[in-house]
Structure 1
Amino acid sequence: MTTPRLKVTAIRAIVPFKLVVSFSDGSFGTFDASPMIGERGEGTEALRERRYFGLVELANGVPTWPNYFHISPDWLREEMANRGELELPLPARRKR
């Protein structure tokens, strides 16, 4: 049996350079994109402008900008977990 592919189910850009993210596994949090966009690269250069950074949208569960720069949901979730930015869903309460 294959495991379902992780997707981002909701995303919203907030300033300065942060993304409020919800994942299909129920986890969520706020990702600080400053280190990522500070790296050299053609794809991240446009994201350094706050207005452009705010144009992030979901394309099939993947955060994507108009210049086609995108972030893998798996990488994003792992990075958020490593930085302590990820909240896990509360376990479902069992009925008695």
Structure 2
Amino acid sequence: MIKIIQAHYVQQRILRLYFSDNSFGDYDLQPLIDRQTELVMALNDDVYLKQFFLELGALCWPNGLELSPGNIHRKLAEQHQLHYQTKVA
């Protein structure tokens, strides 16, 4: 089961996510925000967007929005935006 182990704000609605399989990618939240659902509308505010946190490997916000690490990982892989870190011996 894939988990997000680190997350960093990069720039306008983009978070760099590091996964438990040593992969990482830049996740663009704009397509999600464009849906304009009640929970994601708060992400239009950059101050609020930066209040993300990780809970049990998922990407979360204080309003209850929780994004599945498996779905994000799959989307990044499909978009060829997933990269793997090389381990140094």
- Normalising to structure 1: TM-score of the pair? 0.84
1:42 is paired with a residue whose SS is: coil
Question: Match for residue 4 of structure 2?
Answer: 8
Aligned counterparts of 2:48 and 2:10: Cα–Cα separation in 1: 12
Instruction: Using the TM superposition, give the Cα deviation of residue 6 of structure 1 relative to its aligned residue in structure 2, in angstroms.
Output: 1.1
Amino acid at match of 1:18: I
Among candidates 48, 52, 60, match of residue 48 of structure 2: 52
Identity of aligned residues (%): 27
* 4+ aligned runs moved over 6 Å, structure 1: none
Aligned counterparts of 1:62 and 1:41: Cα–Cα separation in 2: 19
Give the length in aligned residue pairs: 89
Larger radius of gyration: 1
Aligned counterparts of 1:86 and 1:39: Cα–Cα separation in 2: 23
* Correspondence list, 1:62-81, <5 A: 62-81=58-77
- CA displacement 1:1-54 (0-9 Å, x = unmatched): xxxx21100001232000110000111011111111111211101011111000
Amino acid at match of 2:9: A
Question: Structure 2 vs 1, CA of residues 14 and 89 (structure 1 numbering), >3 Å: closer, same or farther?
Answer: closer
1:52 is paired with a residue whose SS is: helix
In structure 1, runs of 5+ residues without a counterpart are: none
Question: Match for residue 25 of structure 2?
Answer: 29
Question: Match for residue 81 of structure 2?
Answer: 85
Identify, as 1 or 2, the structure richer in strand: 2
In structure 2, runs of 5+ residues without a counterpart are: none
Aligned counterparts of 1:7 and 1:32: Cα–Cα separation in 2: 18
